[in-house]
């Protein structure tokens, strides 16, 4: 269930880099309370089937808004969709172990206005590892200084329980959007067009999202 979905339409490659959502899926550090729950509420009575889903807003591939770490901060419904639809760049950081530092990003093709997606060994992992590769605060500051509009990582968290969440704060306090839970195993590094649309949950600090990359041949 964790494989990337790759489609080809005429001269357009479409990479679905979202995690599937289902009971028993990988969740952050395998915490039971984060597992999706489902209930069949109508099983073809009167000819229809309906289900109820209970989801954590940080389920699978999801987008963090400032309210995640900033009291009174903007929510996912407040996000500017123009920042989530447009050009992005996948960086190859598969040689990195433990954490991504500013030094790991030195020399990488990062430009003002880029939405940066960080491809690491996480994309080959199950997705619920306690010791996933994360982005440290120095690397977050490096990307913020470079003027990126967003950062995505192929782990269910962009940092691993750092005190006071400095990576989140460094990015979100500057209006830089965070996407977590990407699956980039089949995606070569390079430039793409991205569509990343969070559910329109009013008042939510995060929301699950379907994220796809488009690449013209």
Report how far residue 10's alpha carbon sits from residue 68's, in angstroms, rounded to the nearest whole number.
40
Question: Are residues 24 and 18 in contact, defined by beta-carbon separation less than 8 angstroms?
Answer: no
Does residue 68 have an active-site annotation? yes
Q: How far, in Å, are 103, 104, 113, 137, 202 from residue 15 at the CA level?
A: 29, 25, 22, 29, 28
Asked if residue 186 lies in contact with residue 15, where contact means CB atoms within 8 angstroms, the answer is: yes
Q: Which one of 58, 62, 68, 168 is the catalytic residue? A: 68
**Distance (Å, whole) CA 79 – CA 72:** 14
* CA–CA gap between residue 32 and residue 46 (Å, rounded): 35
DSSP, residue by residue, 67-97: GGTSTT---GGGS-GGGTEEEEEEEE-TT--
Among candidate residues 176, 87, 168, the one with its CA nearest the CA of residue 134: 168
CA–CA separation, 178 and 158 (whole Å):
8
Handedness of CA 95, 87, 14, 79 (dihedral sign): positive
In the DSSP assignment, the letter for residue 106 is T
* Positions marked active-site: 68
């Amino acid at each position: 269930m964790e494989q990337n979905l790759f489609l080809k339409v005429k001269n357009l490659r479409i990479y679905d880099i979202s995690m599937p959502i289902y009971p028993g899926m990988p969740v952050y550090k395998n915490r039971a309370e984060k597992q999706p729950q489902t209930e069949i509420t109508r099983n073809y009575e009167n000819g229809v089937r309906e289900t109820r889903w209970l989801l954590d807003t940080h389920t699978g591939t999801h987008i963090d808004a400032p309210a995640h770490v900033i009291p009174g901060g903007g929510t996912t419904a407040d996000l500017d969709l123009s920042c989530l639809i447009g050009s992005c760049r996948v960086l190859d950081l598969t040689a990195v172990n433990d954490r991504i530092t500013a030094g790991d990003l030195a020399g990488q093709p990062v430009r003002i206005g880029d939405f940066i997606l960080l491809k690491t060994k996480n994309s080959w992992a199950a997705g619920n590892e306690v010791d996933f590769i994360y982005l440290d605060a120095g690397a977050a500051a490096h990307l913020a200084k470079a003027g990126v509009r967003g950062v995505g990582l192929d782990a269910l968290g962009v940092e691993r329980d750092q005190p006071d969440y400095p990576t989140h704060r460094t990015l979100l306090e500057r209006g830089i959007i965070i996407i977590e839970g990407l699956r980039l195993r089949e995606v070569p590094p390079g430039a793409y067009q991205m569509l990343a649309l969070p559910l329109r949950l009013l008042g939510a600090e995060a929301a699950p999202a379907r994220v796809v990359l488009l690449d013209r041949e």
